[in-house]
Structure 1
Amino acid sequence: MSDYQQYVTEREKVDMLLEKGYEITKVIENLSGAFVDFLRLGGKEDEDYVQLHIQTADARKYFATKMLERQQS
């Protein structure tokens, strides 16, 4: 898979979770990417918890931008 296609896939996953009402609660970055924890507010933690492994630099920028947009609104 090309880097661009991987970015598009990761971006779509982030968008899908945010549209379903999930919020980014934790980010851990290391040399292999970023592990982004999502939690649906008002739900049971064990049922509404998702972790994505974001590997592309563009997708890392994308979710960081989404975090900032949500903080400002």
Structure 2
Amino acid sequence: MSEYQDFLHERDRIDFLLQKGYKITNVTENLSGAFVDFEKSGESNGEAPRETLHILNADARKYFSAMLMKQQKEEV
């Protein structure tokens, strides 16, 4: 898969979770990419659903960083 196709795939996975109401709660970066933790708030059963994405593409890492900054501005 091309580098751009990798980016599109990872961006779509990030957007899917954000559209479903998930929020980015934690980011762990290492030499193999970034692990981005998402948590869905507002669940009535007390246990918030969680997802973790392994983001490998550099452009996708920039993308989730921008989405995280946007999320933080919306919370203020």
Question: For the superposition of Structure 1 and Structure 2, which TM-score range results when normalised by the shorter chain?
Answer: over 0.9
| Aligned equivalent of 1:51 | 52
Q: What 5-or-longer segments of structure 2 have no aligned partner?
A: none
| Runs of 4+ in structure 1 over 3 Å off | none
Q: How many residues align?
A: 71
Q: Cα RMSD over matched residues?
A: 0.8
**TM-score, length of structure 2 as denominator length:** 0.89
Task: Tell me the percent identity.
Answer: 52
Distance in 2, matches of 1:17 and 1:28, equals 18
Quick one: which amino acid aligns to residue 64 of structure 2? F
Secondary structure in 2 aligned to 1:25? Answer: strand
Give deviations 1:35-59, integer Å, cap 9, x for gaps: 00000012323xx110000000000
Displacement, 1:72?
A: 1.1
Q: What 5-or-longer segments of structure 1 have no aligned partner?
A: none
Secondary structure in 2 aligned to 1:38? Answer: strand
Q: Does 1:9 align with 2:15?
A: no
Distance in 2, matches of 1:32 and 1:65, equals 20
**TM-score, length of structure 1 as denominator length:** 0.92
| Aligned equivalent of 1:32 | 32
